[in-house]
Amino acid sequence: MKLRLKIWRQKNAEAKGAFASYDLDGVSPDMSFLEMLDLLNSRLVSESKEPVAFDHDCREGICGSCGMYINGYPHGPVPGLTTCHLSMRYFRDGETITIEPWRAKPFPVIRDLIVDRSAMDKIQVAGGFISVTAGAAPEANSNLVRKHSSDLAFDSAICIGCGACVAACKNASAMLFVSARVSQYALLPQGRPEAKERVRAMVEEMDRQGFGNCSNTGACEAQCPKQIRLFNIARLNREYYKSY
């Protein structure tokens, strides 16, 4: 495959960025999107040019660090996939692919396609944990939990905090992320003792970091690679109202 890549290049947070175009040949449909970028960078390095900086770690769809905007979609046009799992077979020979970093005020660009997502870590630190020392793991059946509730809690807990929901939202809202973190505890008895303090602390930190309000368009759910459901935001609102 031969592709034309339009990639956002920005030296640092203070520099003015711009798109740069690259023609890349020899791309296999079996490559992942990140492997395609590796191929591009190998060529740039061989030509003594600066490689494209992008975030990645596990390349197994677990860490969420690989997020980037691809042809107008966070993580690319295929639902339920992180960028590292996006295969090049979803693109056509000769296609132009536009690649950008997340566009949100709380995610300032560090360099090229890398953004600072520490704002989401600060929300997690604000209250996304259980602080009670519970000792050793209890007998599994000592605290009975309805299967429906445990399933919903698990579905919320798989959020990887990649920021795709923020990038997809026109208001740069982090409500889906926060609601997933709140829901995974609100649905289980272990999370109830600190429920009020948790939801207030996380919502206040979300506002402090500059994330916008929920726009109710559902773009966050549509673009979430782990398909976190929108109804978690309704649960977040209920938990927040009950905390006062």
3-state secondary structure 125-188: HHHCCCCCCCCCCCCCCCCCCCHHHHHHHHHHHCCCCCCHHHHHCCCCECHHHHHHHHHHHHCC
Whether the predicted pLDDT of 90 surpasses 90: yes
Burial classification of residue 144, based on how many CB atoms lie within 10 Å of its CB (0-12 exposed, 13-18 middle, 19 or more buried): exposed
Global pTM reads 0.92
What number is the average pLDDT over the span 56-61? Answer: 94
Q: Which CATH class is domain 118-242?
A: mainly alpha
Architecture of domain 2-110: Roll (3.10)
pLDDT at res. 24:
97
pLDDT at res. 9:
98
Rounded distance, CA 228 to CA 222, Å?
Answer: 9
Rounded distance, CA 150 to CA 152, Å?
Answer: 5
State residue 43 phi and psi, 5-degree precision: -70, -40
pLDDT at res. 116:
97
Rounded distance, CA 173 to CA 218, Å?
Answer: 11
Rounded distance, CA 2 to CA 8, Å?
Answer: 19
CB of 101 closer than 8 Å to CB of 113:
yes
Q: Where are the domains of the chain?
A: 2-110, 118-242
pLDDT at res. 241:
96
What number is the average pLDDT over the span 56-67? Answer: 94
The tens digit of pLDDT for each residue in 91-112 reads 999 999 999 999 999 999 999 9
The tens digit of pLDDT for each residue in 152-188 reads 999 999 999 999 999 999 999 999 999 999 999 999 9
pLDDT band of residue 134 (cuts 50, 70, 90) is low
